[in-house]
């Protein structure tokens, strides 16, 4: 190889965009599109091939389908919306031989997730982002002060270096990047372990006759603790059938629960399975801080998922936008410090992070309550109150509701009282998150007060500490 060829090859092996985004999911694509529209060079690194990009395991239910950041507008995504007639949840409780109908407020759509994934990639590309497929990140670069300055990767099997002012981590749950970064010089949340996440598995199933519940999201507890089944109708004959379970459970036994339920349901007689896929997602509170000098985590990589429903698409889109807005400010000022990026944390907490942290309290409760007692209580509660709890972050459990639940649940008074006390703890957490600090300097004191409140959560619920 000539000297000129060697120089050309070295130039290809090292690239220096303004920003690098790792992961072509919702958060990564919205971040990349927002930065590119502001006139900056951004490269998205995606480990999958161009043909497979956007293909991930997902429930396909999109809460908040009426609003998306303008960097990739809603109308760009609408071809992937396959069922916009869903307006309620159908909670099947075999222990009580009952079905609970739960209204779902706001606009909801069931989507073709792979098609949606390709459309957000197309939207970010049209905005000016560059995509590098078949690219697997190996390590993160940091300077002597701890600032992240880029990543190393292999692209099509060849080593590559990407130097950038900011790296955005959209690499999903339990991101490899966070294992590589030394966060000792910042407040980035490192209180993270696998037990705070769940695994998910889903199949796309085609049935011969239209299902009667094509206007509902169907949920059902598994026969084992810490698991649930779902049936989300993409159309009246194409169903996303799946299950979620804590990573502490044995996956194959739980997958068998799904297969058994599919065999036992009359509407799935003669069904054909088209696609099978698994993934992991957070069932925890959002990261206390998702910023570090030169580094921002977004979406699943920062715990931006409703811990009670697993919903995360709309939140990820806004996480990408909010992160990108601060990255743009950092690029314009030449200051990629934690202080400059901090506003991103505040906007996430203000939009949905505080609500998700409060909902996590109920998730903690579920690990300590007897499953049959909990199912009995759910069967007794009015559906509108459950909807308020799941989608608004709290529920008003007044004396009238407690009396109704007591009479209908045949004496689950202890569980009702526990839920009432837990609701008070969740409200305390919500109020505290609404006082999230405006700079990194205030985080330590805020965390100490929050951790004191969490001690009360564990005491009330009887659950083992989660964090």
What are 120's two structure tokens? 């957000």
Q: What is residue 180's predicted lDDT score, i.e. its pLDDT? A: 98
The answer to whether 193 touches 225, Cβ cutoff 8 Å, is no
Task: Answer left, alpha or beta for residue 406, where phi above 0 means left and psi between -120 and 50 means alpha.
Answer: alpha
140 vs 150: CA distance, rounded Å:
6
The torsion angle over the Cα atoms of residues 132, 136, 138 and 144, rounded to 10 degrees, is 20
Query: 370-392 burial, b if ≥16 CB within 10 A, otherwise e?
Result: ebebbbbbbbbbebebbbbbbbe
Residues paired with 19 in a beta bridge: 42, 166
Which of 176, 226, 205, 170 lies closest to 277 in space, CA to CA? 205
Q: What is residue 96's predicted lDDT score, i.e. its pLDDT? A: 76
The answer to whether 281 touches 305, Cβ cutoff 8 Å, is yes
Q: Which residues have CB under 8 Å from 106's CB, separation 6+?
A: 63, 64, 66, 391
The answer to whether 283 touches 307, Cβ cutoff 8 Å, is yes
The answer to whether 421 touches 414, Cβ cutoff 8 Å, is no
Q: What is residue 402's predicted lDDT score, i.e. its pLDDT? A: 47
What are 32's two structure tokens? 């990349």
CATH architecture observed for domain 3-79+113-194+284-353: 3-Layer(bba) Sandwich (3.50)
Which of 119, 150, 124, 132 lies closest to 47 in space, CA to CA? 132
Residues paired with 89 in a beta bridge: 102, 217
The answer to whether 280 touches 198, Cβ cutoff 8 Å, is yes
3-state SS, residue 274: strand
Q: Which residues have CB under 8 Å from 44's CB, separation 6+?
A: 20, 21, 22, 23, 24, 28, 29, 32, 124, 129, 130, 131, 132
> For the chain, which residues make up each domain, given as ranges?
3-79+113-194+284-353, 93-105+205-280, 355-461
pLDDT, tens digit only, all 467 positions of the chain: 444 444 445 456 999 999 999 999 999 999 999 999 999 999 999 999 999 999 988 889 998 877 899 999 999 999 999 999 999 989 888 877 888 888 887 788 999 999 999 999 999 999 999 999 999 999 999 999 999 999 999 999 999 999 999 999 999 999 999 999 999 999 999 999 988 998 889 999 999 999 999 999 999 988 765 678 999 999 999 999 999 887 766 666 767 888 999 999 999 999 999 899 998 999 999 999 999 999 999 999 999 999 988 889 999 999 999 999 999 999 999 999 999 999 999 999 999 999 999 999 988 988 887 666 666 656 555 555 555 555 554 444 444 444 454 445 455 556 667 778 899 999 999 999 999 999 999 999 999 999 999 999 999 999 999 99
391 vs 292: CA distance, rounded Å:
31
What are 238's two structure tokens? 């194409």
Q: Is 137 exposed, middle or buried (0-12, 13-18, 19+ CB in 10 A)?
A: buried
pTM of whole model > 0.85? Answer: yes
Instruction: State in Å, rounded, how far the first CA of the chain is from the last one.
Output: 55
Say if strands 291-292 and 158-163 run parallel, antiparallel, or are unpaired: unpaired
DSSP 41: -
What are 106's two structure tokens? 């706001």
């Amino acid at each position: 190889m000539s000297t000129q060829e060697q120089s050309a090859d070295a130039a290809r092996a090292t690239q220096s965009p303004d920003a690098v985004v790792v992961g072509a999911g919702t958060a990564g694509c919205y971040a990349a599109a927002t930065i590119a529209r502001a006139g900056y060079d951004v490269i998205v690194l995606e480990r999958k091939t161009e043909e497979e990009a956007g293909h991930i395991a997902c429930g396909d239910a999109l809460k908040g389908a009426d609003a998306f950041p303008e960097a990739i507008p809603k109308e760009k995504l609408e071809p992937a919306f396959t069922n916009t007639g869903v307006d309620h949840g159908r909670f099947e409780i075999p222990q009580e031989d009952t079905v609970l109908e739960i209204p779902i407020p706001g606009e909801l759509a069931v989507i073709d997730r792979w098609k949606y994934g390709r459309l957000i990639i197309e939207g970010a590309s049209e905005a000016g982002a560059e995509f590098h497929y078949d690219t697997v990140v190996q390590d993160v670069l940091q300077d002597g002060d701890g600032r992240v300055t880029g990543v190393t990767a292999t692209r099509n099997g060849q080593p590559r270096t990407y130097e950038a002012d900011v790296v955005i981590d959209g690499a999903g749950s339990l991101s490899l990047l966070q294992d590589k970064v030394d966060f000792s010089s910042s407040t980035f949340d490192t209180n993270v372990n696998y037990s705070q996440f769940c695994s998910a598995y889903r199949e796309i199933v085609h049935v011969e006759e239209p299902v009667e519940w094509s206007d509902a999201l169907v949920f059902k507890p598994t026969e084992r603790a810490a698991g649930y089944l779902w049936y989300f109708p993409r159309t009246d004959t194409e169903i996303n059938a799946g299950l979620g379970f804590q990573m502490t459970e044995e996956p194959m036994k739980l997958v068998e629960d799904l297969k058994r339920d599919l065999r036992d349901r009359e509407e799935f007689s003669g069904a054909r399975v088209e696609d099978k896929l698994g993934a992991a997602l957070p069932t925890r509170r959002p990261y206390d801080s998702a910023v570090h000098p030169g580094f921002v985590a977004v979406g699943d990589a920062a715990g931006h998922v409703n811990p009670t429903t697993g919903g995360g698409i709309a939140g990820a889109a806004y996480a990408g936008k909010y992160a990108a807005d601060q990255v743009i400010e950092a690029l314009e000022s030449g200051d990629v410090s934690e202080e400059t990026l901090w506003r991103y944390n505040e906007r996430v907490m203000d939009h949905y992070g505080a609500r998700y942290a409060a909902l996590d309290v109920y998730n903690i409760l579920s690990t300590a309550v007897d499953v049959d007692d909990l199912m009995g209580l759910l069967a007794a509660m009015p559906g509108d109150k459950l909807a308020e709890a799941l989608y608004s972050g709290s529920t008003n459990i007044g004396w009238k509701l407690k009396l109704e639940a007591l009479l209908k649940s045949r004496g689950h008074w202890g569980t009702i009282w526990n839920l009432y006390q837990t609701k008070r703890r969740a409200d305390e957490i919500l109020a505290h998150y609404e006082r999230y600090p405006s700079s990194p300097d205030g985080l330590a004191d805020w965390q100490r007060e929050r951790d004191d409140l969490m001690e009360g959560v564990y005491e009330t619920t009887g659950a083992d500490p989660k964090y």
